[in-house]
């Protein structure tokens, strides 16, 4: 469980300084909802926002040096904003449930004296139970791998170094300054809050679905979750078919609302341990197999599998879902995604899109517009903060139509 109510990104490519939603350092902001959509002309930084989420997940998994080199990022020098010598910085404002206190996670990555990326600062903070307002207590603090962590649910210390609560304080000195402290301390039961936060970050899913990858030969290995490109889609379908037939039937029913000719989808393991999907279509006696299915069919199938996951990933980021999909499906897809994530703390979705059809199904407060400022760096504004947009949507005009007609963005 959990979702982020806000994020600040600094010195990450074109994102020299952007913030979305509510933060510890920006309490006036309105918290992000369960579905956030990012729009804007080409080159304004949409994919960079998606990649910033991917970068955080990679830092957790591989350490910051490798994360800077992965995914065509080209190393710290290329990745950090040009003309800036400041560290790459992130601030996440996270809440586990509606009645839990928000947690702030800060991460700063810089180059050491041998020009190697390292974690300059990492900090977790949470307000005390007894305080309705006021300064939160730090329960993990690491500067260059050195600092402290607090066990338990409540303890921490103030900025002045005053200890509060009964939890044990442990001195920390990480062996590797390129690794995140949360990846170590989040595996130890005593550090309850760090464990929960790590679980949340680990369940992020960045979707770069590629129909070509989905068509690739796949070997039998049932799996509950789609990987980044969808190259294990047959195994995910098989897992759901086996473990959660009702969920699989819902996926089929969702697909049939759009692709009416599809009668049946069946995962079929073969004797030689390969696995394919069989699609039975109206008018044909023989099935078609997944390598022969259209881009849009595979993509819709992947999104519906994602929406019906048995153990849902808590944060999902989808880039340009419109690619390869018939435009009439897009408003529906946006509605289904909104419905799928609901209003609770189970799932949160971020989407980038160029499609007004998709945006037509959204509320102004859930849409963020990226533009390039005069200095060449990205600026971001909530659609609801543009003059007239909110009132026109309240009067019944669709948001995507306003965008298309250049009322904003």
Ligand X SMILES: Nc1ncnc2c1ncn2[C@@H]1O[C@H](COP(=O)(O)OP(=O)(O)OP(=O)(O)O)[C@@H](O)[C@H]1O
**What residues line the site for ligand X (CB under 6 A)?**
13-14, 40, 42-48, 78, 81-82
- Interaction partner, residue 177 (ligand X, Mg ion, none; CB < 5-8 Å by kind): none
Q: Which partner, ligand X, Mg ion, none, binds residue 13 by CB below 5 to 8 Å per kind?
A: ligand X
Give whole-number Cα distances, 337 to 194, 300, 403, in Å.
29, 12, 20
Q: Of 205, 251, 247, 207, which is closest to residue 230 (Cα–Cα)? A: 207
**Near Mg ion by CB under 5 A, which window of 45-53, 209-217, 272-280, 375-383?**
45-53
**How would you class 265 by CB atoms within 10 Å of its CB: exposed for 0-12, middle for 13-18, buried for 19 or more?**
buried
Least distance from ligand X to the Cβ atom of residue 327, Å: 17
Task: Find the shortest distance in angstroms from Cβ 371 to ligand X.
Answer: 10
Residue (183 or 378) nearer to Mg ion, CB: 378
Shortest reach from residue 45's CB to ligand X, in Å: 4
Q: DSSP character for 27?
A: T
Shortest reach from residue 77's CB to ligand X, in Å? 8
> Which of ligand X, Mg ion, none is residue 42 near (CB under 5 to 8 Å by kind)?
ligand X
CB of 104 to Mg ion, least distance (A): 28
Sole window of 32-40, 47-55, 172-180, 227-235 interacting with Mg ion (rule: CB under 5 A) = 47-55
Binding-site partner at residue 104 among Mg ion, ligand X, none, CB < 5 to 8 Å by type: none
**47 is an interface residue for Mg ion by CB under 5 A:** yes
Residue 203 binds which one of Mg ion, ligand X, none, with CB within 5 to 8 A depending on kind? Answer: none
Contact range with Mg ion by CB under 5 A, out of 38-46, 167-175, 206-214, 378-386: 38-46
Smallest distance from the beta carbon of 50 to ligand X, in angstroms? 8
Q: Which is nearer to ligand X, 36 or 44 (CB)?
A: 44
Q: How far is the CB of 13 from ligand X (least distance, A)?
A: 4
- Out of ligand X, Mg ion, none, what residue 98 binds, judged by CB under 5 to 8 A for its kind, is none
Task: Name the one range near Mg ion by CB under 5 A: 41-49, 85-93, 171-179, 210-218.
Answer: 41-49
- The residue (of 55 and 301) whose beta carbon lies closer to ligand X is 55
Query: Positive or negative, the Cα torsion across 229, 232, 234, 236?
Result: negative
d(CA 109, CA 324): 37
Least spacing, CB of residue 319 vs ligand X, in Å: 8
CB atoms closer than 10 angstroms to residue 62: 16
CB of 11 or CB of 47, closer to Mg ion: 47
Among the listed residues 318, 351, 353, the one whose alpha carbon sits nearest the alpha carbon of residue 229: 318
48 versus 183: smaller Cβ distance to ligand X: 48
Judged by beta carbon, residue 47 or residue 348, the one nearer Mg ion is 47
Closest of 279, 214, 213 to residue 252, by C-alpha: 279
**Count of CB atoms situated within 10 Å of the CB of 362:** 27
Query: Residue 115: which of 148, 80, 164 has the closest Cα?
Result: 80
- 126 Cβ neighbours under 8 A, 6+ residues apart: 101, 102, 103, 104, 136, 137, 139, 156, 193
What is the nearest approach in angstroms of Mg ion to the Cβ of residue 54? 13
Contact 254, 336 (CB under 8 A): yes
Name 22's bridge partners: none
CA within 13 Å, CB half, 392: 19
Q: CA 405 → CA 82, 327, 408, distances in Å?
A: 34, 18, 8
What residue 406 binds from ligand X, Mg ion, none (CB within 5 to 8 A, per partner kind)? none
Dihedral over Cα of 6, 8, 13, 16: its sign: positive
Judged by the rule CB under 5 A, the positions of this chain that interact with Mg ion are 46-47
């Amino acid at each position: 469980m959990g979702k982020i109510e806000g994020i600040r990104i600094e010195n990450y490519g074109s994102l020299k300084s952007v913030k979305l939603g509510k933060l510890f350092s920006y309490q006036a902001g309105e918290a992000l909802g369960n579905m956030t959509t990012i729009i804007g002309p080409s080159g304004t930084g949409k994919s960079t926002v998606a990649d910033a989420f991917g970068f955080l997940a990679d830092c957790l998994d591989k350490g910051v040096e490798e994360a800077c080199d992965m995914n065509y990022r080209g190393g710290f020098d290329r990745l950090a904003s040009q003309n800036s010598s400041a560290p790459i910085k992130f601030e996440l404002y996270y809440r586990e449930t509606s009645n839990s206190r928000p947690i702030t996670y800060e991460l700063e990555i810089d180059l050491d004296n041998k020009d190697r990326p390292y974690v300059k600062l990492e900090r977790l903070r949470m307000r005390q139970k007894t305080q309705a307002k006021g300064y939160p207590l730090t329960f993990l603090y690491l500067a260059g791998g050195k600092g402290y962590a607090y066990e338990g649910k409540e303890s921490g210390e103030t900025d002045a170094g005053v200890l509060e609560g009964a939890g044990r304080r442990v001195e920390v000195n990480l062996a590797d300054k390129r690794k995140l402290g949360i990846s170590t301390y989040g595996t130890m039961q005593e550090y309850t809050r760090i464990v929960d936060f790590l679980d949340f970050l680990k369940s992020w899913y960045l979707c770069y679905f590629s129909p070509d990858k989905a068509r690739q030969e796949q070997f039998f290995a049932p799996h509950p979750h789609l990987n980044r490109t969808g190259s294990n889609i047959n195994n995910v379908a098989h897992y759901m078919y086996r473990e959660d037939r009702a969920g699989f039937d819902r996926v089929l029913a969702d697909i049939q609302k759009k692709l009416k000719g599809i009668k049946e989808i069946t995962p079929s393991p073969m004797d030689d341990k390969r696995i394919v999907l069989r699609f039975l279509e109206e008018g044909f006696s023989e099935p078609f197999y997944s390598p022969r299915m259209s881009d849009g069919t595979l993509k819709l199938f992947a999104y519906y599998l994602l929406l019906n996951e048995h153990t849902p990933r808590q944060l999902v980021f989808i880039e340009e879902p419109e690619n390869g999909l018939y435009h009439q499906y897009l408003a529906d897809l946006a509605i289904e995604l909104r419905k799928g994530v609901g209003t609770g703390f189970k799932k949160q979705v971020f989407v980038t899109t160029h499609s007004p059809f998709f945006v037509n199904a959204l509320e102004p407060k859930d849409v963020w517009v990226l533009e390039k400022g005069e200095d060449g760096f990205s600026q971001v504004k909530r659609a609801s903060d543009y003059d007239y947009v909110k009132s026109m949507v309240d009067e019944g005009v669709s948001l995507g139509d306003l965008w298309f007609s250049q009322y904003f963005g």
